[in-house]
Structure formats: C-alpha cells, structure tokens
A and B are shown apart, each in its own frame.
Chain A
Amino acid sequence: MHQPIHSIVILGGGTAGWLCAGTIAARVKKEHATPPTITLIESPKVPTVGVGEGTWPTMRATLRKMGIRETDFIRECHVAFKQGAQFNQWTTGEHKDSYFHPLMLPRSFSDINLAPHWLNGNTGTSFADAVCPQDTLCINGLAPKNITTPEYAAVANYAYHLDAGAFANFLRRHCVNTLGVRHISDEVTQVNSHDNGDISSLTTDNHGAISGELFIDCSGFRSRLLGQHYQVPFKSCKDVLFIDRALAVHLPSPSPDTPIASYTISTAQDNGWIWDIGLPTRRGVGHVFSSAHGSAEQAYQNLARYAAQSGHDIDKLSVREIPIEPGHRTKFWQNNCVAVGLSAGFLEPLEASALVLVEISADMIASQLPATRSTMDIVAKRFNKTFLYRWQRIIDFLKLHYCLSKRDDSDFWRDNRSNIPSDLQELLALWQFQAPWDSDFDQAIEVFPAASYQYVLYGMGFTTDMGKRGLSKEQQQRAEFEFIQNRQTSQQLARALPDHRELLNKIYQHGLSQV
C-alpha cells in the first residue's frame, strides 16, 4: 500500500487528456526531484469530439503554468478573445430581448454590492452596463488588451474562443516536446486489475501492457475505465436540463477582415438555443435542442435560418449531429482511477463549463497528487465530494437561465419553469428580498461566483425587493460614485483599446511579450 506513485497513465488524447497531461507534468516537474512519469495512450481510431471551443479566464493560468507562450497558443489554435456572452431572446423571445454576461466582476465588487443600488436607482442602463465596462467594449468590437500588454495579462478580463482540434494537437506537441510526456498511439484491448480492484495495467495492441499506479480516464463519452470497467453509475439530469442533441457546423469567414465578435452569442430558439463562436477563420455555430420537445428537422431549419442571416447556406456545409447525455457519474474517482472530461459527465455548453471542469479537475489531481497508494483513497474521497458539489452547482446555474425565462411560446420553455432543484429554489426565494452575494455560496470551491448570478438574474429582469429596510444614504452615495466611475472607465477603455481583429493581426505579426 505504501508503494510510491511513479507512473501516471492517461487514457484518451482529446483536449481533456492533454490538458491533464500538461497540467500534471508541469506541476510534478516543478515540485519534485524525481517526478512520476506520465504516459498518454490515444486510440488512433477514435476521433476526438472536438467540442469546447469556449473557455473561461482560468485557461490563461492553466496555459501559463504549463509553460506555454500565449503568442504561440493564439497563433496556432486560431484563437480569438472572449469577453463574455450575449444572450438573445432568452427572456421574452422578442427581437430586442438581449442581455450581456461579462467576464469582469461588477466594479468594486469586494467593497460594495451594487445590485440593490442599481435596482433601486435609475441608471437608465442595463445592469451589466451600469457596473462594468465590458458590454461597451464588446459592442464596439474592441479587444480586451493592447499589443503592449504582456502575455496572459488583461486590460479587461478575458477568456478564449479556440479551434478545439488544433488545440488538442498544440497541447500534444507541447506535452511531448517540452514536458516529457510519453505518447502512445495504440488501441487498449484489456484492463488488468490487482486483487484489491485497482487497475494494474492497460493491455495495448502493439505496446504490450502499460502499467501505472494512477489511471486518468479521458476516454470521452464511452468512459472506458470509470464507466465500462468500474461500472460507476451515470446520473442523468435530463429531468432538469432537457437539452440532449446538438447540430454543429462551421461557417467560414467571408474575408480575412470580417469583424470577429469577442463574446459568445447565444440565441434562444423554440426548443433550445444556438451558439455562435467567432474565430479568425470561421464561426463555430450549433443548435442544441431537446429531442423530447422538437425534431432534428426543425432544429436544422432554425440553424439554416440563423446561418442564412450572414449569407451562409448550411445545405452546402457539413452539419454534424452530436448526441448529448446530460449528467455525470455518481463518483469520479474509484480505486486508482479518476475520470476527467466527457468520461466524467457532460452538460450543454451554455456557460462553457466543459473545459473549466477539466482544468479544475486536473489542477486538483496535480496539487493533491497522493505520494503513495495508501493516501489515495483520502484524496479520492475529497475529490468526489468537491466535484459532486461542483456539478450540482453548475446544473443549478444552467437551470437558472431557463427558469427565469418568461417565454411562453413552446412547451420547452413552459416545462423549463418546473423541476427546479431545491437548492436553486431556496436561493431564488432568498434573492427575492436580497441581492446575491458571496456569502450565499461555499466560496472556496465555487465554480460560478455570486457576480455571475447577478449578471444573469438582473439581465433577465429578475426583481429583488429591498423592502422597508432600504439603503443607507452613505451607501447610496458610494454606489452613485461607482456608477459614474464605471461610465468614465468605459469611455477611457473604449478609446484605449484596439479593434479585436486588428490586435489578433498584430499578434500574428509581432507577438506579445512575456513582460
């Protein structure tokens, strides 16, 4: 039991597999004199799903810790900057119905909760626009930084839109060439076990048995180790989140100087919604929908109409249909095997939670990596507890987008106002009389901060009644000051920041510096 962990085996070479390999390899290399070896086995036959084209700002730290230059990443993965998400037709379905969920926190968020003051006052603007400059930047097509801003540093908080296929290849090259990860392209034919149920090795077609002390299952939807081998049950959440199908297509950029949106555009449809992610070379567009509420043909028609708005004919493009099984495994770490990525679970890409879950999973494995088998069960228990909580919070947060909608044009939207998880129901009850704040959550492991709830709630017209207690004069004055400051900051940044594509072109030409 006290045998040291000196070999980690990762099964699966998609984004999840390589992000795990890179995160863990960089960490153990930095910390230890004799770090464990890391081997990644990738099936040459199984294609990667290639979803997850939107990240969170966390990806900046994830890549930096791996020793990746942001310039290389931007150049090689067809990256664009993401400053938030725009939700169209989610609240009433009317043409003008739109709100913005920026990545920057509301101004002075650690000092003052501006939400009640916005609700109370008369700023004449949306909540996001009143408390943060990012909506203005996005509408004006501006980048979140300058060419003089160092790599990974931001003027306005940002994440990325990227080409998932190119990203997996890019990570693989870095992991293999720089971080010393061993890459085996082979088919796993058998899972071999010790008496205690631990996996001892994976038998491959041409490389024999690959043994290890810790196995990370990044095998995608088939969940080869956790699901198939250990038979860990899958907990569906289809009763809460109805989306179970996606149609995806790439719309090529009409010209090299077509403007690129620096935010994800999410447009609600009668039985789901359409994502729209702008890259320098193309837009990734897709329609997720509930097969219980509508047909694939109907979704195809919606998608075709959406693409036609920008002059694209999807009949001439390759449209992929992807089944989605919303939910997650009842645990993620069993014996000496932990699942990360689609093998652990999947949810609709509404708030780009797929890659961030991979990042925080890899980070937790790397930072708590047990030294010996004897302590692994303790780490596993913690990991399972943390991630079960996180999955539940993400499901709740996604449901929030649906249950606040006032749309009444289809069963999909009407049905979405029921089956609200009890934790979310309690929070919504609370927020009728007080605005969301950090103290509503178990902050240390929270995925979505209180700020995200504020942006969605008040973006979708939720009202919080501040009641008879009112707001103090002093706080009102402070809030007024912050609103004015925010307007000034918005104007200053709008003048100082370059056009989104112009910055990307400069990065191709000159690169960003590290300092």
Chain B
Amino acid sequence: MANPVVLDAKKHHDLRVITKRGAQFGEAVHLVPVIADELRSLVLDYPICFIKDTETGQFGLYALLGFGEGENLYLNGDNWHASYIPLHVRRQPFLVANHTLNDNSSRSVAMVDMDSARISQSADQGEAIFDDAGQPTEYFKQMQRLLAKLIEGSQITSRFIQTLADKNLLEAAKINITLASGEQKNYEGLYTINEQTLATLEPEAVSELHKLGYLQACYLMLASMGNISKLIDKKQESHE
C-alpha cells in the first residue's frame, strides 16, 4: 500500500532515495501510463496504445511493456533495455497531490511514498532530497521538474484523447501473436488510431488536428505499433 506524505525539509532531511532500476521497485509491470509529450521518445522502443479505465470507461495512454500481468520485457535485472524510460517510472517514489487550502483554493504539492522500496534504509545509499542547508538538491529539483511536466502533460493528453474519441479516430487493436513454440495469443482491450478514418478526414479536420499537434501524435502512435514485433522478439528470447 502507498503511504504518501507531504515533503518537508526538516522531517525529510536524512531521507534518501534509491534511483536504481529493477523489479523490486515495482517496475515489473506490463503497462505504464504515459503522456502525449513523450510519444516522440517512446516511439523508438515501445508500442503505445489506449486502454480503457475499468471504472470509468475513459481511455488512457499507455506504453506496452509485456503481454501479461507483471511482464516487463524491457527490464532485465537492474537494466532497462530501452533508449528512453517513461516519466511515470522515473518519477517514483514521488507524486503530486492537490491540497485544499483554508481559503478553498488548491495547490499541488510534492509528496513522497514512504512505503516505496526506493526509500533508502541507510545513509550511504541513494540520493538526498535536501542538502545541509535544507534546500532541494539538484536531484530533487530534477524530480520536481519531472513531476510538473507530468501534471501538465496529463491534462494535455486527456484533451488529445477526447478529441480523437469525439472524431471516432480510435479503434480496437487486433493483436494476435504466434510464439516460436506455436502458442497463439490474442490480446484484447488495447486500442489504437483508426488509420482509415484518419486518412479520410475532411481537410478542415486534418488542419485542426495538425495545428494542435495531434496529427503528428497520431502518426507516431501508428508507427509505434511496429514495436509489437520487437516485444514479441523479446518474449521469444525470454522463453529461450
């Protein structure tokens, strides 16, 4: 269970965060939420698709890391075999929450999950958050920038997805793979861009998408689906 607390220079003066990669830090997952701003970097390694939230039915943007629960085919020990690691993975164990103030306005504050395996138990392991003067370290400043980017990016991403859904540009991805063993697998619940609808949009709609940067994002997503074969290869290797 997560145990998020608001960061405090005094209380967390000695807190250190382990920045290594690995399954022990909760990185053995087959899906990671991503933001549209990351598409350009993600497209080099990962298939990127839309997945529905089971509670709300709303689409979210995700990078696909494996084919089943707990399967991250990019992770090998403490090594992440990819040129880019999604922000959501790198932000751990920090998060942002909205705090309501006395005057009813709200402010986002940085928090840390004290139950995260990244919280170091010894003084000589991990990165400090605050320096001796109680000021944020370079490491933490970097994390703050990353969190800010995620917050802003997730709003932009919601608008991007909503626009595509309204224009009926999403479709269920049909992913059937055959492993070398002959085993066949179907993956359901993944959605991608409907290429045909995209290609037959009216010029005004194309222009509108282009101005918002959504058209490029659509093509990046379509291109990213080619990484499925990369993922299948990785799965084969892991079986060998």
Contacts and interface: CB of A to CB of B under 8 A. Distances in A.
A512 B57 contact: yes
Nearest to B191: A515
Interface string B49-71: 00011111111000000000000
A146 B168 contact: no
A148 B55 CA distance: 8
A146 B55 CA distance: 9
A147 to B, nearest CB: 4
A515 B54 contact: no
A514 interface: yes
B172 interface: yes
B57 A510 contact: yes
Interface string B143-168: 00000000000000000000001001
B165 A148 contact: no
A513 B171 contact: no
Contact of A146 (B57, B171, B191, B194): B57
B38 to A, nearest CB: 23
Given A148-B52, A515-B191, A510 B58 contact: yes
A506 B56 contact: yes
Given A513-B52, A515-B170, A515-B171, A147 B191 contact: no
B165 A514 contact: yes
Interface in A126-164: 146-149
B165 A513 contact: yes
Q: Is the interface of A mostly helix, strand, loop or mixed?
A: loop
A147 B171 contact: no
Contacts of A511: 57
Contacts of A146: 54, 57
Contact of A148 (B54, B170, B171, B194): B54
Interface string A15-39: 0000000000000000000000000
A312 B52 CA distance: 41
B170 A514 contact: yes
Contacts, number: 36
Contacts of A509: 56
Interface string A491-515: 0000000000000001001111111
Given A515-B170, A515-B191, A147 B55 contact: yes
A510 B171 contact: no
Interface string B24-65: 000000000000000000000000000011111111000000
Contact of B168 (A149, A510, A514): A514
B54 A513 contact: no
A513 B59 contact: yes
Interface residues of B, number: 16
Nearest to B56: A510
A147 B172 contact: no
A147 B58 CA distance: 9
Contacts of B57: 146-149, 506, 510-513
B56 A513 contact: no
Which one of B52, B59, B171, B194 has the highest number of Cβ atoms from chain A below 10 Å of its Cβ? B52
A513 B170 CA distance: 9
Contacts of A510: 56-58
A515 B168 CA distance: 8
A365 to B, nearest CB: 28
A515 B196 CA distance: 14
A509 B55 CA distance: 11
Interface in A398-436: none
Nearest to A149: B57
Contacts of A148: 52-54, 57, 189
A74 to B, nearest CB: 13
A149 B56 CA distance: 11
Contacts of A147: 54-57
A515 B172 contact: yes
A514 B52 CA distance: 12
A510 B191 CA distance: 18
Nearest to B166: A514
A279 to B, nearest CB: 22
B200 to A, nearest CB: 14
Contacts of B54: 146-148
A513 B169 CA distance: 11
A514 B171 CA distance: 9
A510 B56 CA distance: 6
Nearest to A150: B172
Contacts of A149: 57
A75 to B, nearest CB: 14
Contacts of A512: 57
A372 to B, nearest CB: 32
Interface in A200-237: none
Interface in B178-204: 189, 191, 194
11 contacts: A147-B54, A147-B56, A147-B57, A148-B189, A149-B57, A509-B56, A510-B56, A514-B165, A515-B171, A515-B172, A515-B191
Interface of A: 146-149, 506, 509-515
Interface of B: 52-59, 165, 168, 170-172, 189, 191, 194
Given A147-B55, A147-B56, A513-B58, 18 more contacts: A146-B54, A146-B57, A147-B54, A148-B52, A148-B189, A149-B57, A506-B55, A509-B56, A510-B56, A510-B58, A511-B57, A513-B165, A514-B168, A514-B170, A515-B168, A515-B171, A515-B172, A515-B194
9 tightest A-B contacts by CB?
A147-B57, A148-B52, A510-B56, A148-B57, A515-B170, A514-B168, A515-B171, A510-B57, A510-B58
